[in-house]
């Protein structure tokens, strides 16, 4: 993606459709000049940055709308260019006509993510922060919001930048040695370099491991509900999801599809896998379903195993539990149909420390949610730990790590300085990919095309 910073872009910044107000944004060298041509009110080109002005947008004698215009003069703006934000009445007719008018007067329609791309190219944001803007806009739960917010405000960028700077120093020292190769000098202290690399690896390890949690926080904790046919899986699923739907469907504009199989427990999203399969009451734990079950369980981070003491006696349930344990993922044993159990049965099953519920009567379902939260034991996001939630970042971190392993090998073994320098450069390259010190057009295209127009 190339950028012609000499042109001025325009797009609607608020959602499409009627609203009380709509905000149209222009960015570029002529943003203020173009707006001024069609604005009747104060002379915008003579106003200070960060001021708001009332007036009308006109096409000839025709008043299109009464508007408020906010001015942000370069470089004190999101994109570091001149920005104008026009707040108009939120009719799609008005919005369309104002945008067309701006285009006729010299602006160009913005491409997806182009405002944020400019912010990145002009140094207002690094790449991981720009990506966080997209995540922030897409965030739908408290945790995904906090995660994106942290990353946008800098996250691990500064930590990586600091380590990268130190590594650059060593790389240039080693490259300097190459210039004096005849003289067998050593400018880069190998002991210090080794220590730095070990330090960097420690940080990388921490960030790479955090991805597991970060990803789950962003995309939801994948949960599988398993159990023999007729134990009450779909009843439970409905009990879990219905309540959620009732809450969410009250919020105007939320579509059912997006919340179909998710519940939000105190800000953490749990995503139920294969709910269609469960609804068809397919056998997901018995022999014939084993392969499919394994597939599902592999995707899950948590297994809710539902047992039915009416169908199976204690010994059978105990046996099933052993099978569940063999999957080696966190699980919760839930004994359903509590309403049908005698006090003696409850006492007997208590040995297995299950959670007793009655899915049909909605008994214990809230407690089940709390237990899900306890089991995933998500780190408190208020802590200062930063988390990686972006697959692109974790891949770059892993590649950096691999290159550093080679550097370490090179330090401890008789490897020529030029190879050492190459491996250091390689690790620098991958580190730089995260924050955007190293970019390619494809990478930028890929990231920014996922944004909406106007962002």
Residues 302 and 372 sit within 8 Å (Cβ to Cβ):
yes
Torsion (CA) 231, 237, 238, 241 in degrees, nearest 10? 170
Omega within 30 of 0 (cis) for the link into 75: yes
Residue from 56, 139, 234, 398 touching ligand GDP (CB under 6 A): that is 234
188 or 306, CB closer to ligand GDP?
306
Under the criterion CB under 6 A, does residue 80 sit at the interface with ligand GDP? no
Under the criterion CB under 6 A, does residue 232 sit at the interface with ligand GDP? yes
Q: Which x/- pattern, by CB under 6 A, does the window 246-285 give for ligand GDP? A: --------------------------------x--x----
Smallest separation (angstroms) from ligand GDP to the CB of 224: 13
Residue from 145, 233, 296, 369 touching ligand GDP (CB under 6 A): that is 233
> For the CA atoms of the chain, what is the radius of gyration?
29
Residue from 16, 340, 352, 379 touching ligand GDP (CB under 6 A): that is 340
Distance of CA 91 to the CA centre of its chain: 32
Under the criterion CB under 6 A, does residue 235 sit at the interface with ligand GDP? yes
Residues 3 and 450 sit within 8 Å (Cβ to Cβ):
no
Give every strand in the sheet of 9-12, ordered side by side: 39-40, 51-59, 62-72, 83-90, 19-27, 9-12, 108-109
31 or 341, CB closer to ligand GDP?
341
Residues 257 and 365 sit within 8 Å (Cβ to Cβ):
no
Under the criterion CB under 6 A, does residue 293 sit at the interface with ligand GDP? no
CB atoms within 10 A of CB 73: 18
Residue 58 and residue 66: Cα distance in Å, rounded?
A: 9
Under the criterion CB under 6 A, does residue 229 sit at the interface with ligand GDP? yes
SS3 of 362, please?
coil
Q: Which x/- pattern, by CB under 6 A, does the window 320-339 give for ligand GDP? A: ----------------xx-x
CA count, 13 A, side-chain hemisphere, 301: 18
49 or 281, CB closer to ligand GDP?
281
130 or 231, CB closer to ligand GDP?
231
Which range binds ligand GDP by CB under 6 A, 127-135, 228-236, 251-259, 431-439? 228-236
Under the criterion CB under 6 A, does residue 393 sit at the interface with ligand GDP? no
Binding residues for ligand GDP, rule: CB under 6 A, are 227, 229-235, 278, 281, 336-337, 339-340, 358-361
């Amino acid at each position: 993606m190339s950028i012609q910073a000499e042109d001025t872009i325009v797009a609607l910044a608020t959602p499409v459709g009627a609203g009380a107000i709509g905000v149209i944004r222009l960015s570029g060298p002529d943003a203020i000049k173009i707006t001024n041509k069609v604005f009747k009110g104060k002379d915008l080109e003579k106003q200070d940055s960060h001021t708001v002005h009332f007036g009308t947008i006109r096409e000839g004698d025709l008043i299109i709308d009464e508007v408020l215009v906010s001015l942000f003069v370069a470089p004190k703006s999101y994109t570091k260019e001149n920005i104008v934000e026009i707040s108009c009445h939120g009719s799609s007719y008005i919005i369309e006509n104002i945008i067309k008018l701006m285009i006729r007067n010299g602006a160009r329609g913005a491409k997806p993510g182009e405002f944020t791309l400019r912010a990145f190219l002009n140094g207002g944001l690094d790449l991981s922060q720009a990506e966080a803007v997209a995540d922030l806009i897409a965030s739908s739960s408290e945790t995904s919001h906090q995660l994106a917010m942290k990353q946008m405000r800098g996250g691990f960028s500064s930590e990586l930048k600091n380590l990268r700077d130190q590594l650059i120093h060593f790389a240039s020292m080693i490259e300097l040695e190459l210039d004096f190769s005849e003289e067998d000098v050593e400018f880069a202290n190998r002991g210090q370099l080794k220590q730095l690399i070990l330090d960097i690896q420690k940080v990388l390890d921490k960030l790479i491991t955090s991805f597991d949690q970060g990803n789950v926080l962003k995309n939801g904790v994948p949960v599988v509900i398993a159990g023999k046919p007729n134990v009450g899986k779909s009843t439970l699923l409905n009990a879990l999801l219905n309540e959620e739907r009732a809450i969410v469907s009250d919020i105007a504009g939320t579509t059912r599809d997006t919340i179909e199989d998710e519940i939000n427990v105190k800000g953490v999203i749990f995503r139920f896998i294969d709910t269609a399969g469960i609804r068809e009451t397919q056998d997901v734990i018995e022999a014939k379903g084993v392969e499919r079950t394994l597939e599902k369980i592999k995707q899950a981070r948590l297994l809710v195993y539902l047992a039915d003491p009416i169908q199976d006696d204690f010994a059978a349930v105990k046996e099933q539990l052993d099978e569940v344990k063999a999957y080696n993922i966190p699980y919760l044993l839930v004994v359903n149909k509590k309403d049908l159990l005698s006090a003696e049965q409850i006492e007997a099953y208590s040995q297995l420390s299950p959670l007793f519920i009655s899915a049909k009567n909605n008994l214990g379902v809230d407690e089940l949610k709390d237990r899900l939260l306890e089991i995933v034991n998500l780190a408190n996001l208020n802590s200062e730990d930063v988390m990686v939630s972006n697959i692109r970042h974790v891949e770059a971190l892993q590649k950096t790590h691999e290159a550093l392993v080679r550097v370490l090998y090179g330090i401890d073994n008789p490897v020529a300085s030029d190879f050492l320098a190459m491996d250091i450069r390689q690790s620098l390259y991958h580190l730089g990919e995260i924050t955007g010190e190293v970019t390619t057009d494809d990478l930028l295209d890929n990231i920014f095309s996922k944004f909406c127009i106007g962002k």
